[in-house]
Amino acid sequence: MGNLLKWEMKQTFSSKSFWIIGGALVAFPALLLFAALTFGSGLTGYDAYLEGLNSYNAFIIMLIGVFAGIHVTGAFEGRKIQSAVMAGNSRFAILMAKFISFSAAIALYSIASIAVSTAIGFGMVGVTGIDGSFARMILARALVYTLVEISYSATCFVASMFIRHLGGAIGLNTGLMLMSNIGAQLILNIEGSETFLRLTPVGQSMFVLADMSNSNIVMELIATALGVAAVIALSYVKFRREELK
């Protein structure tokens, strides 16, 4: 498992898709925030920080399906996964190495984007408007937001396990991310839906921007754990029965 994971990490972080998509996920939210602060007025540093998080989530929805499709479906098309199976690696080990490398990429994307946008926001308007302690409202929020984004993006990981055409996988992933986000916003208007949404990664991608209470942090961690567990379970069920050609 160790050697397999090292190989998977090397393949992931040396790929052009990792750097191109990562560059877009860092640059686009930063540019939007810079424009908002340059041409707008009245935003505090805290407002700018939250705006950076919100913009990052919007671009994750649009772009992460491409990365997941290349990472998973592309590996099947390129027969990399088939080769790993033929080399004697267990399917579960292959799946976990693939998922861990995918999650590590999302974590790096999130941390880099948050760090750059936060530096721009605080640099332009100062560390102002923070409602609460810096550790909780900025640092802790960045951490739980990263975990939520890993779990939310994992939707594309499991979807890619079911599609063997790269273009189809990218289209399906993007559609799922868009529809889940729109659906969550619509469901939020239904009375009594809030508790359910707090237990989902897509719901927490919105709630984490507004609620850093102890109870919601716990809900965020539960949502992340449930989302990751579901993705691994569904992916393994599919992969275990996969007839590799």
Q: Is residue 80 within 8 Å of 97, Cβ to Cβ? A: no
Instruction: Provide the token pair at 89.
Output: 């690696």
Domain boundaries, the chain: 2-240
CA–CA dist 71, 166 (Å, integer): 10
How far apart (Å, rounded) are the C-alpha atoms in residues 145 and 59? 14
The 10 Å CB-count burial string (b at 16+, else e) for 212-230 is: beeebbebbeebbeebbee
Contact present, 9 and 104 (Cβ < 8 Å): yes
3-state helix, strand, coil split of the chain in percent (to 5) is: 80, 0, 20
pLDDT, tens digit only, all 245 positions of the chain:
678 888 899 999 999 999 999 999 999 999 999 999 998 778 899 999 999 999 999 999 999 999 999 999 998 888 888 888 888 889 999 999 999 999 999 999 999 999 999 999 999 999 999 988 999 999 999 999 999 999 999 999 999 999 889 999 999 999 999 999 999 999 988 888 888 999 999 999 999 998 999 999 999 999 999 999 999 999 999 998 877 76
